């Protein structure tokens, strides 16, 4: 006879969920607050979303963040997919261990250390910090996540399909382009979406690698909050939360649908 979850487990789960998500719920609710005072409820209203649309500073910062996120996610997807192919298909090649360590280092490295290291690199190389330095930094940060997702996808694929293509006369390159990559596409697209979401809401690394004229949305929000929380900040944070939640949900569904198709193909 199976026992149900104990009262302690239920209470612990409820407290943990409340600690994580209750502040987000409060922020979303107060983004519809009619009062200009952040801590005083004045009824439901969408006026701050209208004010947000007319706030050119936040709009420009959002455009900058979207541009950086798209560019860095695209670069991270290409590089991460190539790294995943090397790890999943080349076997025990020479230098695999240090290559793997370098790929996955950003997963365990504190973002402060990564940001400071990149800052020192750009200073030594005498590179003007701005759009491209943030994009390069975000590519470095997110490439490892793409590699993990795509490598997992490649490891779960049926290798007999690639072997059949090679037996039928396909070159390794044609097999890669017509068999391997199409089958891995759900994982690749999921990695792109995750890289996009991570870049969009990054603050620490962007703070180290930004320069004049490259103010991202998280940096702008942090600058505004230091002078006091405005109702528009609640609105823009709610929009950002919604975008990231949708992107991560789509990425998770794509990865899950790819696994289901592989299971059906095996059976």
Q: Is residue 34 assigned to a domain?
A: no
Q: Which of 17-31, 111-125, 131-145 has the lowest mean pLDDT?
A: 17-31
Q: Encode pLDDT of 214-251 as tens digits.
A: 888 888 888 877 777 777 788 888 888 888 888 778 87
For residue 42, is it within any domain? no
CA 24 to chain centre: 19
Residue 178 in domain: yes
Q: Closest by alpha carbon to 45, among 53, 36, 54?
A: 36
Q: Domain of 110: which CATH number? A: 1.10.3720.10
Residue 108 is part of which domain span? 52-266
- Report whether pLDDT(143) > 80: yes
- The pLDDT tens digits for 68-124 are 999 999 999 999 999 998 888 877 778 888 888 888 888 888 888 888 999 999 988
Question: Is residue 8 in some structural domain?
Answer: no
Whole-number Å distance between alpha carbons of 195 and 141 = 9
Number of separate domains in the chain: 1
Please state, in angstroms and as integers, the Cα–Cα distance from residue 255 to each residue in 99, 155, 205, following that order. 25, 13, 27
Query: Measured over all CA atoms, what is the biggest interatomic distance in the chain, rounded to whole angstroms?
Result: 72
Q: Give the three-state DSSP class for 33.
A: strand
pLDDT in tens, 32-46: 887 777 777 777 888
């Amino acid at each position: 006879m199976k026992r149900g979850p104990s009262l302690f487990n239920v209470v612990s789960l409820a407290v943990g969920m409340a600690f994580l998500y209750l502040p987000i719920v409060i922020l979303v609710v107060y983004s519809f607050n009619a009062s200009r005072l952040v801590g005083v409820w004045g009824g439901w209203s969408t006026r701050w979303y209208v004010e947000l649309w007319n706030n050119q500073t936040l709009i420009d910062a959002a455009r900058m963040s979207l541009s950086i996120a798209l560019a860095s996610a695209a670069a991270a997807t290409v590089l991460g997919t190539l790294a995943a192919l090397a790890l999943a298909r080349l076997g025990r090649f020479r230098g695999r261990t240090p290559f793997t360590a370098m790929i996955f280092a950003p997963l365990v490295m504190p973002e402060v250390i990564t940001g400071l290291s990149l800052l020192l690199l750009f200073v030594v190389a005498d590179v003007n910090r701005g759009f491209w330095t943030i994009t390069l930094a975000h590519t470095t940060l997110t490439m490892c996540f793409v590699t993990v997702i795509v490598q997992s996808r490649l490891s779960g694929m049926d290798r007999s399909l690639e072997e059949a293509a090679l037996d039928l006369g396909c070159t390794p390159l044609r097999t890669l382009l017509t068999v391997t990559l199409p089958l891995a596409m759900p994982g690749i697209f999921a990695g792109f979406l995750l890289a996009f979401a991570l870049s969009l809401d990054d603050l620490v690394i962007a703070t180290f690698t930004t320069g004049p004229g490259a103010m991202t949305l998280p940096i702008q929000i942090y600058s505004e909050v230091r002078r006091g929380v405005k109702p528009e900040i609640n609105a823009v944070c709610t929009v950002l939360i919604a975008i990231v939640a949708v992107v991560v949900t789509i990425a998770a569904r794509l990865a899950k649908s790819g696994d289901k198709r592989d299971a059906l193909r095996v059976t």
